[in-house]
Amino acid sequence: MEKIVLPEIENFHQIDVYVEQGGYKAAKKAFEQSSDDIIDQVKKSGLRGRGGAAFSAGLKWSFMPKTTDKPKYLCVNGDESEPGSFKDRQIFEDNPHQLIEGTLITCYAIGAKVAYVYIRGEYHKWIKLMQKAINDAYEKGFVGEGMKETFGTNFYCDIYIHKGAGAYICGEESSLMNSLEGKRGYPRIKPPFPAQNGLWGNPTTINNIETITNIPKIIENGWEWFAAIGEPKHPGTILFGVSGHVNKPGIYELPSGTLLTDIIYNYAGGVPGNKKILCVIPGGSSMPPLRGDQIEGVKMDAESLKEVGSAIGTAGIMVMDEDTDLVKVLARITQFYHHESCGLCTPCREGTGWMEKVLNRILNDEGSYGDLDLLISIANNIEGNTICALGEAAAWPVRYMITRFRDYFEERVKKEVMITVKNKVHSMRQTAFPLDDITD
């Protein structure tokens, strides 16, 4: 199977090798067509966002106003902080020029003269690698004013890296823009949407790193070619990041719709010690977990996962074997969302803290049956009542983990059953004797 995003070509990250292999030709091809044509091709290709929501890339671009005096912007989202996700960093490292070329084509399609690549602050090394690639591309006239001469067009654009400083929420598109503007990274209330009112109030498109890296190949090989790869409703390859209890964790680029079991057992080498799988989170920590006995036959694409009650998210697959302490996993996930909640909305700010507290109580064998319903009720009260989707990201794991592993969680709160039995004896005594007789 041909790799689109991470081709196995030695030193492909170097500009000379990239150009030698036909790099930056797709940009030239794109600039010879109208921007509407490009948007149309990307729409028809069926490319869906790889940053979590799987929204049609071409459709998103078409929301950008055509006639406006305002400057337009592109933000390429490399905040990559969702636990279980580590794919964008591989692109920075192995294929930065295809990302740059995709950025050029996207800028052309939406009419942006400036693109910001937002990269999480912890990725010092990958920021340096990316900056080096951008510098090389400037030097060779593939980015910036030099493009006019290189490509023989009037169009040119600049690409800048904006370094984050440690905040998961800045991956959310409106927070990302606030962060870029030099403010606290609070999400914005939508509408207005970024295409109308984005960076500094101007029309802005935000796409994930992997999404943009697909673009040159779509232009080069045609939308029909792309649309025919993998599942028709979510075509192309996906960078699956497998982590946790597998023999060969890592990134596997495979057609969408590849069987989850195939990824785990064939590509990632199965579970150490041939243990059984207790739980799999298929798309990064905020996506609904699946039971080990649910994964047979599950295909890895947005629609198929929706059918089994989960979602593709960032395609970060976390595998947990039969000896995993799921209460601990859920408590840790919830601790993360509590820590990362920006605090704007009460349900998210308070709810994530309560859930963490209750889960820690269960972890310390002090939980009760009631706690399980309490957790679900808190999660339900967060969902749909917040400004940004971090609310759902925090609520989903709790709600689905507990409903799907009810037996497991009930086992862990059983201690309380013993306490109630004790109380029952006590209450029998109360009915057998007049209240006054009880002195203690």
Partner 1 sequence: MEFKFTQENLERIKQEFKKYPEKQPVVMKALYIGQEQNGYISNEVIKEVANLLEMPSEEVLGVVTFYTMYHQKPMGKYHIQICTNVSCMLRGGYEIWDNVKEKLGIENMEVTEDSIFSLEEVECMGSCGTAPMIAVNEDYYENLSKEKVEEILESLKQTN
Ligand X SMILES: Cc1cc2nc3c(=O)[nH]c(=O)nc-3n(C[C@H](O)[C@H](O)[C@H](O)COP(=O)(O)O)c2cc1C
- Residue 82 binds to partner 1 (criterion: CB under 8 A): yes
| CA distance linking residue 165 with residue 176, whole number of Å | 11
Q: Is 184 helix (H, G, I), strand (E, B) or coil?
A: coil
Whose CB is nearest to ligand SF4? 348
| CA distance linking residue 289 with residue 310, whole number of Å | 7
Preceding amide of 191 cis, omega within 30: yes
- Nearest distance in Å: CB 313, ligand SF4: 17
Rounded alpha-carbon distances, angstroms, from residue 118 to 72, 75, 167, 226, 371: 16, 7, 12, 27, 40
Contact flags string 35-54 toward ligand SF4, x per CB under 6 A: --------------------
- Nearest distance in Å: CB 142, ligand X: 22
CB 128 within 8 A of CB 243: no
109 touches, from ligand SF4, ligand X, partner 1, none (C-beta below 5 to 8 Å by class): none
Number of residues that make up the chain: 440
| CA distance linking residue 116 with residue 194, whole number of Å | 14
Q: Which DSSP helix (H) or strand (E) runs through 290?
A: strand 290-291
CB 209 within 8 A of CB 77: yes
- Nearest distance in Å: CB 341, ligand SF4: 4
Put residue 11 in one of left, alpha, beta given phi > 0 → left and psi -120 to 50 → alpha: left
For ligand X, the binding residue among 46, 51, 111, 347 (CB under 6 A) is 51
| CA distance linking residue 329 with residue 402, whole number of Å | 12
- Residue 284 binds to ligand SF4 (criterion: CB under 6 A): no
185 touches, from partner 1, ligand X, ligand SF4, none (C-beta below 5 to 8 Å by class): partner 1
**Touching partner 1, residues 162-181 (CB under 8 A):** 162-168, 179-181
Q: Applying CB under 6 A, which part among 26-34, 138-146, 388-396, 425-433 lies near ligand SF4?
A: 388-396
Q: Is 308 helix (H, G, I), strand (E, B) or coil?
A: coil
- Residue 340 binds to partner 1 (criterion: CB under 8 A): yes
Strands 277-281 and 290-291: antiparallel
- Residue 86 binds to partner 1 (criterion: CB under 8 A): yes
Contact positions vs partner 1 (CB under 8 A): 71, 80-86, 88-89, 116, 120-125, 160, 162-168, 179-185, 200, 241-245, 249-251, 281, 285, 316, 318, 320, 324, 328-329, 332-333, 336, 339-340, 342
Contact positions vs ligand X (CB under 6 A): 49-53, 55, 77, 79-82, 169, 171-173, 206-208, 211, 388-390, 393
Contact positions vs ligand SF4 (CB under 6 A): 169, 187, 341-345, 348-349, 386-388, 390-391
